[in-house]
Structure 1
Amino acid sequence: MTGSLITKKKIAKTFKKLVAQIGFEKVTIAKIMQESHMRRQTFYDYFQDKYELVDWIFQQEAIEKIEDNLAYEGWQVIVENLFIYFEENQIFYRRILTFEGQNSFQDYYTQHLKGLIHQVLVVKKQKDKRVDEADRLFLEEFYANAFVSLTTKWIIDGCKIDSHCFAEQMKIAFLMGFEERQ
């Protein structure tokens, strides 16, 4: 692990802890760096602002569960791993998801889910030649937004349903949407 990655991870760890303790809006760069025992300028060597830091954390931790596994894991395993991750980090994400300002987490999450959904639809297209390009694009948008909306509600409500059960419900909903058209 390079020095810069270690520094980024230390900043991210401190940020996540502060967000869980005091909320996203109250976390400042000064607080992050003071708690990290690093110079304030070090933050700006790696991140433009705390919104970019949130994107980086999501990219490093959650998106790797989607994109790094697309080539060799089935989408069902990826979905379950993603919900386990969210459940383990629910306090942080609950605080992030309730913030609706610049660089909304939901927008970022939606874009990455489209890749997972595209993968599922491409496999479906190989089995069922009736999924044309326009339908595929619509379905990617529809399912990504539905997935994000339900995930957001689940996290904000406190992950009352176990991550494995929630993943199973999402998989069932996803599969039912692809049943043969009458």
Structure 2
Amino acid sequence: MTGSLITQKKIAKVFKQLVIEIGFEKVTIAKIMLASGMRRQTFYDYFQDKYELVDWIFRQEAIEKIEDNLAYEGWEIIVENLLKYFEENQVFYRKVLFFDGQNSFQEYYTRHLEALIHQVLVLKKIENEEVEQSDHQFLEEFYANAFVTLTIKWLLSGCKVSAELFARKMKLAFLMGFEEKTK
């Protein structure tokens, strides 16, 4: 691990801890760097602002569970692992869910889930059938948005059902949605 990645992870760890303790809105760059024992300029060597830091955390921790495993894991395992990650980090994500814009959790999550949905569509042979490209893209967008919306609702409810059960329900929804098309 390079020194810069170690520094980024240290900043991220302190940031996550502060968000959990005092809330996203009250966390400042000065507070992050004071708690991390680093000078303020070090933050700006890696991140433009706390929104970019949230994006980096999401890409570093959550997205790797999707993209790094697409080539060799089944989509069901990827979904379950991703939901377990969210369950373990639910307090942090509940506190950062409410900001919008180009770095929003929802935007990044949706975009990266579309790659997973694409894999599901390929596995279900929808690509091989006579489905137009625009319809294929619509399905990817539709299921990614549905998945994101349900994940957010689940997080905001405090993950009342386990990640494993929620993953099973998501798998059922995917399979039932594709069942008629694949017959």
| TM-based fold match above 0.5 | yes
Q: Do residues 53 (structure 1) and 49 (structure 2) align?
A: no
The separation in 2 between residues aligned to 1:95 and 1:178, in whole angstroms, is 34
Percent same amino acid at aligned positions? 74
What's the counterpart of residue 17 of structure 1?
17
The separation in 2 between residues aligned to 1:126 and 1:141, in whole angstroms, is 15
Shift of 1:59: 0.6
Q: What TM-score, normalized by structure 1, do the two folds share? A: 0.95
Unpaired runs of 5+ residues, structure 1, are: none
The separation in 1 between residues aligned to 2:96 and 2:141, in whole angstroms, is 22
Q: Do residues 106 (structure 1) and 113 (structure 2) align?
A: no
SS of residue matched to 1:178: helix
Structure-2 change in CA distance of 1:107 and 1:92 (3 Å): same
What's the counterpart of residue 89 of structure 2?
89
Check conservation: 1:24, 1:99, Cα contact below 8 A: no
Q: Do residues 32 (structure 1) and 32 (structure 2) align?
A: yes
Q: What TM-score, normalized by structure 2, do the two folds share? A: 0.95
Check conservation: 2:121, 2:127, Cα contact below 8 A: no
Unpaired runs of 5+ residues, structure 2, are: none
Q: Would you say how many aligned residue pairs link Structure 1 and Structure 2? A: 182
Q: Do residues 63 (structure 1) and 63 (structure 2) align?
A: yes
Check conservation: 1:98, 1:156, Cα contact below 8 A: no
SS of residue matched to 2:103: coil
Shift of 1:126: 6.4
Check conservation: 2:23, 2:95, Cα contact below 8 A: yes
Cα root mean square deviation, aligned:
1.5
Check conservation: 1:69, 1:78, Cα contact below 8 A: yes
The separation in 1 between residues aligned to 2:178 and 2:102, in whole angstroms, is 34
What's the counterpart of residue 173 of structure 1?
173
Deviations 1:69-116 (A, max 9, x none): 000000000000000000000000000113345622101110010011
Check conservation: 1:51, 1:103, Cα contact below 8 A: yes
What's the counterpart of residue 138 of structure 2?
138
Check conservation: 2:117, 2:144, Cα contact below 8 A: yes
